[in-house]
Amino acid sequence: AQSVTQPDIHITVSEGASLELRCNYSYGATPYLFWYVQSPGQGLQLLLKYFSGDTLVQGIKGFEAEFKRSQSSFNLRKPSVHWSDAAEYFCAVGARAGGTSYGKLTFGQGTILTVHP
């Protein structure tokens, strides 16, 4: 069964500082990996996704993530955080569509990011 772990429940950084949010996954085959962001009271917005190819993927809002198969990780990074980045971030692993999995997503527990001015 697939699973996702986000070890950090809450992270606080100062505006302008760099950011790294950790994500570890467990999946029996090549994973499809996603990062979503949720602002307070809002739905989920896709930041970026990895399916194959280049292991460093670029997303919206200046975010990037690196897939490391040997470490089963897909950490999210941003070089300089803005106050508007304060939100909750979810890592997810996607099952291959077709068969019995139907493209279902398994989410991590989420990491809440607080940004200090």
Partner 1 sequence: NAGVTQTPKFRVLKTGQSMTLLCAQDMNHEYMYWYRQDPGMGLRLIHYSVGEGTTAKGEVPDGYNVSRLKKQNFLLGLESAAPSQTSVYFCASRKSPGLTQETQYFGPGTRLLVL
Contacts to partner 1 by CB under 8 A: 4, 9, 32, 34, 36, 42-46, 49, 51, 90, 92, 94, 96-98, 102-110
Rounded to the nearest whole angstrom, what is the least distance from the CB of residue 84 to partner 1 in the complex? 19
Dihedral over Cα of 89, 101, 56, 75: its sign: positive
Identify which of residues 68 and 104 has a Cβ nearer to partner 1 in the complex.
Answer: 104
Rounded to the nearest whole angstrom, what is the least distance from the CB of residue 23 to partner 1 in the complex? 11
Identify which of residues 80 and 104 has a Cβ nearer to partner 1 in the complex.
Answer: 104
Q: Record the tokens describing residue 105, joined without a space.
A: 């997503």
Rounded to the nearest whole angstrom, what is the least distance from the CB of residue 35 to partner 1 in the complex? 12
Other CB atoms within 10 A of residue 24 CB:
17
3-state SS string for 30-62: CCEEEEEEECCCCCEEEEEEECCCCCEEECHHH
